[in-house]
């Protein structure tokens, strides 16, 4: 009996421990690299995910129809995205953007526009979430065409919420509604009275 009690406590602790997801995005000279990693149990389990470098495919009219169908399917996941957003905790958000054009006038306009978007985005983000480390820098580069982005983000979410997310995904994939019942049938199914 006490082993069952100990196993139950260990299981509850494992469910309540957070999982850290690290997202690193680098765009340097038109080369993009994404690195996703996660850690669980204080870093004991830390698998890394390297997405494939996919080449862009030529789009045709049939792919436009598929894109419309996919967006309709994605509208179902808005509630799931809100659920995830409400449960996650952003530990670190760090970004360095270097932007420049050959014309200094265009560079300054772009630089000011990016600072404006940055200010609006940060104020909205801080209104919704508490962030431990927030560092977003925009660096102008006068005299040459350049766009370099270095983005690092650490997100924490508890294992319980991940299990709930999987259950919700399975329900939405399976289909159906919450209270689906068979229609009220009469005793005589041929409806002869």
Delimit the domains of the chain by residue range.
Answer: 17-49+83-174
The band of 151, judged by pLDDT with boundaries at 50, 70 and 90, is very high
* pLDDT over 90 at 116, yes or no: yes
Predicted TM-score (pTM) of the model is 0.66
The number of helices, as runs of H, and strands, as runs of E, in the chain is 5, 6
- Using CB atoms within 10 Å of the CB of residue 191, give its burial: 0 to 12 exposed, 13 to 18 middle, 19+ buried: exposed
Mean pLDDT of the chain: 79
Average pLDDT score over residue span 16-33: 85
List, for residues 53-112, the tens digit of each pLDDT value.
544 444 444 566 677 666 766 666 777 888 888 888 999 999 999 999 999 899 999 999
Strand partners, 135: 94
**% of the chain at pLDDT higher than 70:** 72
- State the pairing for strand pair 133-140/89-100: parallel
Tell me if 39 sits within 8 A of 166, measured CB to CB: no
DSSP secondary structure string for all residues of 13-41: HHHHSEEEEEEEEEEETTEEEEEEEEEBT
Instruction: Supply the pLDDT for residue 69.
Output: 67
The band of 137, judged by pLDDT with boundaries at 50, 70 and 90, is very high
CA-based nearest residue to 93, from 21, 155, 38, 33: 155
């Amino acid at each position: 009996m006490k082993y069952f009690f100990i196993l139950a406590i260990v299981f509850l602790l494992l469910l309540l421990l957070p999982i850290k997801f690290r997202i690193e995005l680098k765009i340097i000279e038109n080369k993009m690299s994404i690195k996703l990693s996660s850690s669980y149990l204080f870093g004991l389990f830390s698998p890394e995910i390297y997405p494939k470098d996919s080449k862009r495919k030529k789009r045709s009219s049939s792919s436009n129809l598929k894109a419309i169908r996919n967006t309709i399917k994605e509208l179902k996941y808005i509630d799931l995205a809100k659920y995830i957003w409400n449960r996650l905790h952003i530990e670190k958000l760090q970004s360095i953007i270097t932007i420049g054009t050959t014309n200094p006038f265009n560079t300054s306009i772009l630089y000011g526009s990016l600072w404006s978007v940055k200010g609006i985005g940060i104020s909205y983000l801080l209104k919704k979430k508490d962030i431990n480390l927030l560092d977003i820098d925009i660096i102008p580069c006068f005299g040459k065409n350049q766009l370099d982005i270095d983005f690092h983000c650490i997100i924490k979410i508890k294992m319980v919420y991940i299990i709930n997310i999987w259950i919700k995904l399975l329900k939405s994939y399976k289909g159906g509604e919450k209270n689906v019942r068979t229609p009220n049938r009469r005793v005589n199914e041929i409806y002869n009275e």
